[in-house]
Amino acid sequence: MRPVLGKSIGALLVAGVIVTGAPSAATHNGDSRGGAPMAPRLLSETGLYAKGGRLVVDPRNRPYSPQYPLWSDGAQKQRWVYLPPGAPIDVTDVDAWVFPVGTKFWKEFEFNGRRVETRLLWRAGEQGWVFASYKWNEEQTDAALAPADGDVAVAEITSNRRHTIPSVEECRACHDSKRTEILGFSALQLSTDRDPNAIHGEPLTPEMVTLQTLMDDGVLRPRRSDLISHPPRIRADNPRARAMLGYLSTNCGMCHNSEGSLASLGMLLKQPSGPRLHGEASGEGGPNVAIETTVRRASAWQIPGAGNGASARIAPGSPDLSALLYRMKSRRPSSQMPPLGTVVPDHDAIEAITRWMKEDLK
């Protein structure tokens, strides 16, 4: 696949304020009430927008789009990243990027043509990240910092479902394992070998960040030319399996991985970024840890009414006996997966994964 090139990050990622530690009270895009870094009270004060009172994103904040988006009840989403100049991302471990102090990520959620929420992740100091959510006002002129414990039912999604702004602890539940992780900004998510069959895949635009733009501008340290010569790609038997595993990696792998609190379950759905970084000419074929730890594996969680021991994590040819699929369909608090951040089942994904289980997994 031909790499998608964008504008120079070296020229554009220069935010109005460079944060090198705990910000002072006078900074434009930070607060330090009580001496600890805190999120600003308004979204317009976070540095996302250019000065001038209009909601125009500062061109020094670059858009990006993960190749495997997270399901968020059908929300239209936009994402931006700010990287402080002269401070590269440490990619020594290709699956555990370390971002420099001052890095910021924003993600905007829109339902039914209206902005509802914008989230901020800001590495404000060496000790960690600031998590914040902003609720948009009725006039759509700005968004105010939401309470730390979240805000319930802030906007209609469908006739009987409403969007809830998560609490800070819920944000940390998804982004924190042994470290804070940016789920949509990784070597795999930004790979130039982009999956054309990704569920809910979003088109790239020329200004968006990819591995190619990061490499071209010297943002990655150490320099990883292998990420360009052999772009990260999920190892799979066929194109459909690649797309299904990518979806499960994003939507389930945030918890079901080898590092988080559920590691002991041994259900490893998070895909590594490095299967093609050792000279393989193709990402197709060979074992995949997600397949090995789910297909035909007994499920500790049993499908109601299926009979004792009948449920598997993934039952080849038998979607009705696959606990993973059952829990994707459910929106009951006791059984739904993912357990946070969604109140509407992802019907497109459910249909696609059902076909995959029926037709490909024998």
pLDDT one-digit tens code per residue, 22-55: 333 223 355 544 567 899 999 999 999 998 878 9
pTM for the structure as a whole: 0.87
The shares of helix, strand and coil residues in the chain, as percent rounded to the nearest 5, are 20, 20, 60
Residue 123 has phi, psi (to 5 degrees) of: -85, 95
d(CA 337, CA 257): 15
What's the token pair of residue 42?
């308004």
Q: How many CA atoms lie within 13 A of 203 on its CB side?
A: 2
pLDDT score at 309:
81
pLDDT score at 178:
59
d(CA 195, CA 306): 35
Three-state DSSP class for residue 314: strand
Q: For the chain, which residues score pLDDT lower than 70?
A: 1-35, 175-180, 274-286
Three-state DSSP class for residue 279: coil
Contacts of 23 (CB under 8 A, 6+ apart): 17, 29, 30, 31, 32, 37, 124
Alpha helices in 217-282 (DSSP H): 226-229, 239-251
Pairing state of beta strands 104-111 and 114-125? Answer: antiparallel
d(CA 237, CA 250): 19
pLDDT score at 169:
83
Q: How many CA atoms lie within 13 A of 339 on its CB side?
A: 10
d(CA 145, CA 129): 16
pLDDT score at 277:
38
Length of the chain in residues, anyone?
362
Reported as a single tens digit per residue, the pLDDT across 92-127 is 999 999 999 999 999 999 999 999 999 999 999 987
pLDDT score at 299:
95
pLDDT score at 205:
95
Burial 269-305 (b: 16+ CB within 10 A, else e): bbbbbbbbbeeeeebeeeebbbbebbbebebeebbee
Q: What angle do CA 329, 79, 71 make, to 5 degrees?
A: 5
Residue 35 has phi, psi (to 5 degrees) of: 95, -15
Q: Is the Cβ–Cβ distance between 129 and 98 less than 8 Å?
A: no
pLDDT score at 106:
98
Report which residue type is found at 56.
V
pLDDT score at 261:
85
pLDDT score at 159:
86
Pairing state of beta strands 151-158 and 143-145? Answer: unpaired
